[in-house]
Amino acid sequence: MKLGVFTVLFSEMNLEEMLDHVKAKGIDTVEIGSGGFVGDAHCKPIELLADNKKLEAFKQAFEKRNIKISALSCHGNPLHPNKEVAKDFHDKFVATVKLANKLNIDTVVTFSGCPGESEHSKNPVWITCPWPTDFSNVVEWQWREKVIPYWKEQNELLKQHHVRVAIEPHPGFVVYNNETAIRLRKECGGQIGVNFDPSHYFWQGMNPAQSIKQIGDALYHFHAKDTQIEPRNTELNGVLDTKSYKDIANRSWVFRTVGYGHDEQVWRDIISALQVIGYDGAISIEHEDGLMSIDEGFSKAVVFLKDMLIDEGAKELWWA
């Protein structure tokens, strides 16, 4: 495993400034945003695919610094009921897959998406309970009419371009936990796996280390981000919380830099679980901590995680 960073943190910097900055921190693996919710400050796939000179300059920026790209990420909602919105997310996903193929990058990260409740919806509808039965009917319709047909088609696209997609389980989308992630892969194909982000598992009450072991070799990429649960607010209001992420004092939970939501042992268990399943990809630091500056959160995450990652050579047992 290699310590990396999701570089949308540094969208204010240009590509070369960003790469120099992370290299100075001892990081030589990066996840690059390529559109959708995370933006495309450092990578515009449609432009790069249309211009070989720009594409070559992009590649050289990484090669001359000996920095590897772990994944291209275009988090979006290609199942959005607004057809124009859905098409924009879809087109950026397709362009990202084609660019990944040209760059010999094997992984693209995104969300599963979430449709509306019918063909007449204007906004996505995410269901959190089975009753009244209207809710169960909506979930069944979403998967049958929208989710499965779309991702079956994308699985074929991914095969064609020798790329795999790491779907990030995230509340608000149809894939939000292990069960839904495994269902999507089973229904739609093996090019579809998981981008595992413990922060979304923590607040839903799941155990990330055990969840990692269940996903196994379908875990294609990993985000290092934490969540702090606020006990009093959770005890009063539960974990379903629609207040702004900026309203830190009143929320039931907030995203934190690794080590500031759960202690070192919890994170060592997570890293160990990744080793158990044979994951050898990036531990990609993601920063959404409202109590720390970007650089402070990034720097603290690097220090916290660095000694947890074991060199592949160190795995040899002396008695083996």
Asked whether the beta carbons of 281 and 309 are under 8 A apart, the reply is no
The verdict on residue 148 lying in a domain is yes
- For residues 45 and 36, give the distance between their C-alpha atoms in angstroms, rounded to a whole number: 12
Between CA 252 and CA 185 the distance in angstroms is: 31
State pTM to two decimals. Answer: 0.96
Structure tokens at 251: 């929320």
Q: How many domains does the chain have?
A: 1
Q: How far apart are CA 155 and CA 93, in angstroms?
A: 12
Q: Residue 118: its pLDDT value, please? A: 97
Please tell me the distance from the alpha carbon of residue 217 to that of residue 77, in angstroms, as a whole number: 25
Establish if 182 belongs to a structural domain.
Answer: yes
Q: In a structure prediction context, what are the per-residue pLDDT tens digits for the chain, which is 320 residues long?
A: 999 999 999 999 999 999 999 999 999 999 999 999 999 999 999 999 999 999 999 999 999 999 999 999 999 999 999 999 999 999 999 999 999 999 999 999 999 999 999 999 999 999 999 999 999 999 999 999 999 999 999 999 999 999 999 999 999 999 999 999 999 999 999 999 999 999 999 999 999 999 999 999 999 999 999 999 999 999 999 999 999 999 999 999 999 999 999 999 999 999 999 999 999 999 999 999 999 999 999 999 999 999 898 644 445 555 55
Contact criterion met (CB below 8 Å) for 171 and 126: yes
Q: Which domain holds residue 170?
A: 2-314
CATH of the domain at 114: 3.20.20.150
**Residue 219 neighbours by CB distance under 10 Å:** 23
> Does 113 map to a domain?
yes
Q: Is residue 139 part of a domain?
A: yes
Q: How far apart are the first and last CA of the chain?
A: 22
Directed axis angle between helix 178-188 and helix 208-215, to 10°? 10
Check residue 307 and give its pLDDT: 86
Taking the C-alpha atoms of residue 80 and residue 87, their distance in angstroms, rounded to an integer, is: 9
256 within a domain of the structure (yes/no): yes
Residue 315: predicted pLDDT: 53
User: Does residue 320 lie within any of the structural domains?
Assistant: no
